[in-house]
Amino acid sequence: MNIANHLIRAGAARGARPAVARGGKVLLTYSALADRAARIAGALRRELGLAAGDRVALAMKNCPEFLEVLYGCWHAGLVAVPINAKLHKSEFTYILENSGSKVCFATSDIVETLSSIQADALERVIEVGGDEYEHILRVGPIPCVNRAPHDPAWLFYTSGTTGRPKGAVLSHRNLLAAIFCYFADMDQGAPWNATLHAAPMSHGSGLYGLAHVTQASCHVLPESGSFQPAEIYELIGQWPGLVFFAAPTMVKRLLDFREDVDTANLKQIQYGGGPMYVADSRAALDRFGPKLAQLYGQGESPMTITALSADVHADSDHPRWLERLGSVGTAQSIVEVRVADADDNFLPVGEAGEILVRGDSVMNGYWDNPEATADTLRGGWLHTGDVGSFDSDGFLTLMDRSKDMIISGGTNIYPREVEEVLLRHPEIAEVSVIGRSHPEWGEVVVAYVVATKEAVASASLDAYCVENIARFKRPKEYRFVEALPKNNYGKVLKTELRELDAALVKNAANEG
């Protein structure tokens, strides 16, 4: 069960179809893409001497070569280690060392950073598009190497917002399950013409790209190599049936682009990495029509925990429509999802607890980390570390990471609930809510706010909260900032906010 066979099949049966494009220009057909992947596989095995199961890193920004290297690794029976191109040198070093990658393919902007990295197993850094890479493409192709369903295919390194990233070992079976869920739960209607890689291919966008290889869709990359709303709208106009994966912050940037543009070609925006605030979901539905689908997943069960389909997004006549928009949908087709207490006892409808998952998409474990594996997969369930609750219809509301929950006076307060309210205030652009240690209450609620104008009165925000949520949930302080700290995927780093807040409190105490 080698996932590379999907590209081989597409190259043979649909070889003339466009496979990779930059902007509006087609660069490769599927027959060419499959041939190049097989040649890369030949070079990795015959010339570089790699054996089945060896790791190959991809330190690459989104580029036309990404897919051929990824599938070339699998064709050769190797394990791909995609790394986000925006990481720091120390993070590259850690992942290369931890994974034991022997070869690293890199785009030109990263090669210099990698040249001074010392990783015991690393033997070669190859610049995509460089002379050695061009030589590799002239090597003779090899037959696809057979792999067992449970064999590792992709080491997915977590974002590491609370410490060192861990490598989730995704097998060929895991990736196949994710592909099936894409068509069953996210993008259910043919035809599949083109997918735009506006988010990093090293993570969600690349994972969803696997489904599009099975359907021989064209993979489109923005010429800018970045997310520019004007360019995204231009590409929508050029590619009929276009879909793309985006973080909620990306969707918000598209909504903030005020020019009137035609989005008739847009088939679907698939958002994830965190639930979209209800106000933004409604604005996106108004702007794009019934073309939104949401996924909830994590690297340990990639893109495959729950889904909120396009038809549910569009069903504004349902009496609980707004509640559903605020949820992350229902369990995807190949997983079971439960909510449990601290002792792993399943909880009834309406009660909040840790979200547990099991099914064919759940990772084998963490690379070279048996302790973390045993803890995270105890009892046969993936313990996500996220807190949520189910309603009577099976819709899961994601409240927060368990570490982000605030306990004030013995009562649980979920930051997202407070954030949802504050974001409805017309003078707030972004907000993140954290807990601050307090000698009497344990914790108190603090809101970090990005305002839409210079002067916003804390009293007006406080009054707004009192009108919309229980008094004990309202922030005890509002701190106004120019921007919220975020990682490379657009997620707000609450760990950094808590550190900033603790430093501010300490400084204030010292000055007092």
Q: According to the 3-state scheme, what is the secondary structure of 69-90?
A: HHHHHHHCCCEEEEECCCCCHH
Other C-beta atoms within 10 Å of 123: how many? 12
324-368: per-residue pLDDT in tens? 999 999 999 999 999 999 999 999 999 999 999 999 999 999 999
84-128: per-residue pLDDT in tens? 888 888 889 999 999 999 999 999 999 998 988 988 899 999 999
Residue 161 reports pLDDT greater than 50:
no
**175 band by pLDDT with thresholds 50, 70 and 90:** very high
Maximum mean pLDDT: which of 411-415, 440-444, 473-477: 473-477
Strands 396-401 and 382-390: antiparallel
Domain 1-18+26-147: give its CATH code. 3.40.50.980
Find the DSSP H helices in 137-273. 172-181, 204-214, 229-238, 248-256
What's the angle, vertex CA 505, arms to CA 502 and CA 510, rounded to 5? 125
* C-alpha pair distances (Å), 158 with each of 100, 124, 298, 476: 17, 24, 8, 33
Residue 55 reports pLDDT greater than 70:
yes
Q: DSSP E strands: which ranges in 414-468?
A: 428-438, 442-451
- Contact by Cβ (8 Å): 243, 215: no
* pLDDT of 510: 83
Share of the chain above pLDDT 90, in %: 74
In this prediction, residues 189-211 reach a mean pLDDT of: 94
Q: Residues of CATH 3.30.300.30 domain(s) within the chain?
A: 405-511
Residue 157 reports pLDDT greater than 80:
yes
Q: Taking all residues of the chain, what is their mean pLDDT, rounded to a whole number? A: 92
Cα–Cα distance measured from residue 363 to residue 350, given in angstroms and rounded to the nearest whole number: 28
β-partners of residue 401 are 386
Q: Bigger pLDDT: 512 or 2? A: 2
Task: Say which range, 1-10, 23-32, 249-258, has the weakest mean pLDDT.
Answer: 249-258
* pLDDT of 453: 79
* pLDDT of 274: 64
Residue 219 reports pLDDT greater than 80:
yes
Share of the chain above pLDDT 70, in %: 97
In this prediction, residues 139-152 reach a mean pLDDT of: 98
**491 band by pLDDT with thresholds 50, 70 and 90:** confident
**409 band by pLDDT with thresholds 50, 70 and 90:** low
Torsion of CA 324, 327, 329, 334, to 10 degrees: -160
What's the angle, vertex CA 290, arms to CA 286 and CA 295, rounded to 5? 110
B/e letters for 316-329, b = 16+ CB within 10 Å, e = fewer, are eeeeebeebbbbbb
Q: Residues of CATH 3.40.50.980 domain(s) within the chain?
A: 1-18+26-147
Residue 225 reports pLDDT greater than 80:
yes
Residue 221 reports pLDDT greater than 60:
yes
- The pair phi, psi for residue 206, each rounded to 5°, is -65, -40
* pLDDT of 450: 93
pTM for the whole thing?
0.83
In words, the CATH class of domain 405-511 is alpha beta
* pLDDT of 234: 97
* pLDDT of 162: 45
289-309: per-residue pLDDT in tens? 999 999 999 999 999 999 999
